[in-house]
Chains A and B, each alone.
Chain A
């Protein structure tokens, strides 16, 4: 199984800040990575697939980068509505595995 490690587990930032979080799979997964946003009490929402492809309707302040064993999700100009937990998921092989999540809060 491919273990996914996310860091930090939580981050607190001010409105307008740039927030960066990382996801490290336990083995090389090329660009087979997705990012999801889960707001409290809601189902997850797909933000990015293929490591860097923004889903339709997702604000451009979200961006993904990386390949292989090192991936990053960046939120530029953090907004109050971005308060959520963000999960990465490897799509290289079954079992599909998720990272433990990064919780984003507003200072």
Chain B
């Protein structure tokens, strides 16, 4: 069974940093591209980042470019989202999701980890 479990969220002050982790199981992690998608309270879905299966290609949304970086450790089946210079508008539930290679769609999602940026 495919499972994605996010962790690392919490309350952080504006300007602070957090590193989110997503642990994967139930599939060959190193064969799949992964993404992070966030959802602000009561709002829609916003794609945040992409990392290819080998980590050779990454993309970051303009709204977080220069502040967020994505990485992965295929030996540990983990994908990370390093977030710095956090702002109130980064407050959201952050999901990691597996990306299908052929249709570029998110076929499995984690349960999300909540990041709250507030003083």
* A interface residue numbers (CB < 8 A to B): 1, 32, 34, 36, 38, 43-46, 49-50, 53, 55, 87, 89, 91, 94-101
Contact = CB atoms under 8 A, between A and B. Distances in A.
B61 interface: yes
B50 A94 contact: yes
A100 B59 CA distance: 22
Interface in B97-115: 100, 103-107, 109-112
A34 B46 contact: no
B104 A44 contact: no
Contact of A45 (B100, B109, B112): B109
Nearest to A35: B105
B95 interface: yes
Contacts of B35: 96
B43 to A, nearest CB: 9
B61 A95 contact: yes
B81 to A, nearest CB: 15
A67 B110 CA distance: 29
A95 B62 contact: yes
Given A43-B95, A43-B110, A34 B47 contact: no
Interface residues of B, number: 21
A35 to B, nearest CB: 9
Interface of B: 35, 37, 44-47, 50, 59, 61-62, 95, 100, 103-107, 109-112
Contacts of B103: 32, 34, 49-50, 53, 91
Contacts of A53: 103
B97 to A, nearest CB: 8
Contacts of B109: 43-45
Q: Among A34, A53, A99, which residue has the most Cβ atoms of chain B within 10 A?
A: A34
Given A43-B109, A49-B103, A89-B105, A98 B59 contact: no
A97 B47 CA distance: 6
A100 B111 contact: no
Given A44-B106, A55-B107, 17 more contacts: A1-B62, A43-B109, A43-B111, A44-B45, A46-B105, A46-B106, A46-B107, A53-B103, A87-B45, A91-B104, A91-B105, A94-B50, A94-B59, A96-B104, A98-B44, A99-B44, A101-B45
